[in-house]
């Protein structure tokens, strides 16, 4: 007999991966799709790390409007369902979001990984300082540390900019086991390939989107649910309970 002990099985985990569709029912526009924010403003103007300084005023104008909209929004029943899961199984739940709002936190979630940053934070690309904005519309007061003015951008990950939390995301995706459950909610998969990361993983994967889309191989998910997240997420609680308490 081997003297080595079999390591205790790691308990089943729940990973929640969300996108703009989660906050859509709180009145925040999604970026893509019909009536998406990027229908009106070209994303290469306001969300491109290579050119943002050339479009400095347009970038701040766009994110000021986002910050004002986010400040007026309230968490919905889908955010509340995720907060409920984390409250029930605090050690088992990891929450990853592409959203730059804080509606998950307002619903009671904690330790949320914001893969694409946080619209309430500003970032100075010269000295790397990140700080909480005190005003909804950026007043061009410059960086509190190095005092430069044209180096300040919202702490939102732009296209072409390194995303420091992607390492966490890929690490979690690579570590998934059959006992784990992943809920992917409100994302088209256009920016991050949730089908590759989670649908094709070994975990039990559940996709929740308003309607089917063409950006992902949605058949790769174990289950697909289409409709409003505010109705579908609370209804998943029993399925998740059975899997996580198994």
Q: Is 143 in the site for Zn ion (CB under 5 A)?
A: yes
Residues 180-239 that bind Zn ion (CB under 5 A): none
Considering the complex, state which of residue 143 and residue 183 has its C-beta at the smaller distance from Zn ion. 143
CB 3 within 8 A of CB 237: no
Q: Can you tell me which of 50, 72, 126, 235 binds Zn ion, judged by CB under 5 A?
A: 126
Closest separation between CB of residue 130 and Zn ion, Å? 10
Stretch that binds Zn ion, among 136-144, 158-166, 222-230, 237-245 (CB under 5 A): 136-144
Binding of residue 130 to Zn ion (CB under 5 A): no
60 catalytic? Reply is no
If one asks whether residue 146 binds Zn ion (CB under 5 A), the answer comes out as yes
If binding is defined by CB under 5 A, does position 16 make contact with Zn ion?
A: no
Q: Is position 127 an interface residue for Zn ion (rule: CB under 5 A)?
A: yes
Cβ closest to Zn ion, residue 131 vs residue 166: 131
155 binds Zn ion (CB under 5 A): no
The catalytic residues are 116
Write out the residues near Zn ion by the rule CB under 5 A: 124, 126-127, 129, 143, 145-146
């Amino acid at each position: 007999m081997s003297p080595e002990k079999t390591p205790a099985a790691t308990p089943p985990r729940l990973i929640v991966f969300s996108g703009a569709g989660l906050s859509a029912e709180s009145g925040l526009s999604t970026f893509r799709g019909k009536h998406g924010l990027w229908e009106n403003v070209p994303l290469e103007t306001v969300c491109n790390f290579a050119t943002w300084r050339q479009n400095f005023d347009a970038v701040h104008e766009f994110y000021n409007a986002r910050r004002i909209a986010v400040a007026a929004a309230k968490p919905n029943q889908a955010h509340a369902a995720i907060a409920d899961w984390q409250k029930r199984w605090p050690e088992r739940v990891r929450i990853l979001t592409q959203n730059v709002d804080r509606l998950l936190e307002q619903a009671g979630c904690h330790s949320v990984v914001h893969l694409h940053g946080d619209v309430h934070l500003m970032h100075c690309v010269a000295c790397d300082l990140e700080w909480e904005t005190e005003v909804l519309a950026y007043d061009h007061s410059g960086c509190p540390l190095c005092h430069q003015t044209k180096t300040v951008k919202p702490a939102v990950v732009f296209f072409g900019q390194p995303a420091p939390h992607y390492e966490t995301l890929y690490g979690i995706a690579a570590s998934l086991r059959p006992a784990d459950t992943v809920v992917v909610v409100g994302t088209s998969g256009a920016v991050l390939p949730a089908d590759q990361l989670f649908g094709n993983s070994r975990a039990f994967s559940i996709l929740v989107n308003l309607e089917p889309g063409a950006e992902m191989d949605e058949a790769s998910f174990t289950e697909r649910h289409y409709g409003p997240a505010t109705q579908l997420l609370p209804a998943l609680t029993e399925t998740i309970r059975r899997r996580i308490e198994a």
